[in-house]
Amino acid sequence: MQNIYALKGNICYSKDQKTIEAVENGYVVVENETSRGVFRTLPEKWANAPVTDYGDKLIIPGLVDLHIHAPQYAFRGTGMDLELLDWLNTYTFPEEARYGDLEYAELAYSLFADDLSKGATTRAVVFATVHVPATMLLMEKLERSGIVSLVGKVNMDRSSPAGLQEESAERSANDTIGWLHSCVGKFKNTSPILTPRFIPSCSDDLMRRLGDIQKAFKLPLQSHLSENQSEIEWVSELCPWSMSYGDAYAQFGMFGGENVNAVMAHCVWPTSGEIELIRKNGVYVAHCPQSNMNLASGIAPVRKFLEKNLNVGLGSDVAGGSSASVFRAMSDSIQVSKLYWRLVDGDSAPLTVEEAFYLGTLGGGRFFGKAGSFDDGFEFDAVIIDDGSIIGPAKPNIHDRLSKVIYLSDDRNIIAKYVRGEICGG
């Protein structure tokens, strides 16, 4: 049975990385889960479709978070004076070990899912922990939130503390397979994603086994790449047979390519060879500007990524990032790009509002397929924003209103949210 309706309001969405389409008092038509496009007047063939009129509100695509750690949500804002590896050992790993306790996981994951349900995020790529029961609990909570998510049971069998290091590569792989079987037919909007934490925490044996699992189950994959200089040096010591950090993943068939949809977080210090491998294999880069500042990792060369036509989106990277807001990630991406231009490379122009908005919607949405836009054929995710409290007495144009939303809005400005055509929260 067809479910056709339209929303009316001030509609903004990315056509490409440089262009925002803005239609004042326009209509977006939705058929079942899918957008049928944006129109200045309602087409005759849909004249009888019910219309929800949002007046002067903004209607934008739902935001996409390509990298967030659910078990780290509970200790956001902690240890921000440390660099990555010290921060992991001092705060992150002890916290994640607590998720072997389902009572604790219930409390912590409830806070996390509640935050995402209230915010503008409609799609997220999420790290869990090594614990299968807690990972299933997280997936159930995200399913109830209504957002679309890819959730990963983490794999780590070396260089990890007690409570997190799995007893062997074989056990890690077998637990992963068991988890994948338990997910079959259980969820509508929540799916598994293969999640080797990063090269230092995964032995060569485990990486080979995970490569086999990826092929057998045809899974997407998430991990970390070239975030911190000490981490990169560690990888070169662990994998002397590889040409680079990215090549270490590629040697196990886990770095994009024809049959692997992969997203790598950070990519702050990629070599020219890694950048070319990312481009060639279609790997997605999750740019996490707030985390990279908080943990003193550096500034990713996002302008270079865009110029070379890499797939790039944004990640909040909670708890390296202290906020789960993708709007915050957009504004941070502009700010750090200005520092990169001023302090690192004067030929690397700062990101524009158009580009930051693209990264947080269509750029990241493409990892999920046709998501992040209102063009015909895209899955319909939308957020309705009441920006009346932030636009000021002189009503700005839609472009400037959108900029104000990126920099100034919070959950209180969200009055409705749609995911795959269905209204959910807000």
User: Do 155 and 217 sit in the same domain of this protein?
Assistant: yes
- Say whether both 265 and 405 belong to one domain: no
- Are residues 296 and 192 located together in one domain of the fold? yes
Q: Are 69 and 172 in a shared domain? A: yes
pTM for this entry: 0.98
CA distance 382 to 384: 7
pLDDT of residue 426: 42
Q: Are residues 208 and 287 in the same domain?
A: yes
Q: Give tens-digit pLDDT for 146-187.
A: 999 999 999 999 999 988 999 999 999 999 999 999 999 999
The per-residue pLDDT of the chain, averaged, comes to 96
Average pLDDT of the segment spanning 367-377: 98
Residues 314 and 402 in one domain: no
Q: Under a CB-based contact definition with an 8 Å cutoff, are residues 382 and 63 in contact?
A: no
425, pLDDT greater than 80: no
Q: Assess whether 75 and 92 both reside in one domain.
A: yes
**What residues make up the domain containing 280?**
63-368
Distances (CA, A) of 282 to 119, 223, 251: 29, 15, 16
What's the number of domains the chain is made of? Answer: 2
Quick one: pLDDT band at residue 42, thresholds 50, 70, 90?
very high
Are 363 and 387 members of one domain?
no
pLDDT digits (tens, 9 = 90+) for 311-362: 999 999 999 999 999 999 999 999 999 999 999 999 999 999 999 999 999 9
Structural tokens at position 8: 């009316």
Task: Using the 3D structure, point to which of 332, 347, 368 is the last residue of a domain.
Answer: 368
Q: Do 155 and 262 belong together in one domain?
A: yes
- Give yes or no for a contact between 215 and 170, defined as CB atoms under 8 angstroms apart: no
Q: In angstroms, rounded to a whole number, what is the distance separating the alpha carbons of residues 100 and 73?
A: 16
Which of 331, 351, 368 corresponds to the end of one domain?
368
Are 151 and 42 found together in one domain? no
Residue 352 to residues 19, 275, 313, 325, 341: CA-CA distances in angstroms?
10, 22, 14, 19, 13
Whether the CB-CB separation of 363 and 158 falls below 8 Å is answered with no
CATH of the domain at 185: 3.20.20.140
Q: Decide: 256 and 225 in contact? Cβ < 8 Å.
A: no
Look up the CATH number of the domain holding residue 399. Answer: 2.30.40.10
346 shares its domain with 235: yes
Same domain (yes/no): 312, 377: no
70-91 pLDDT, tens digit each: 999 999 999 999 999 999 999 9
Structure tokens given for 241: 């047979």
pLDDT attached to residue 2: 73
Between 195 and 1, the more confident residue is: 195
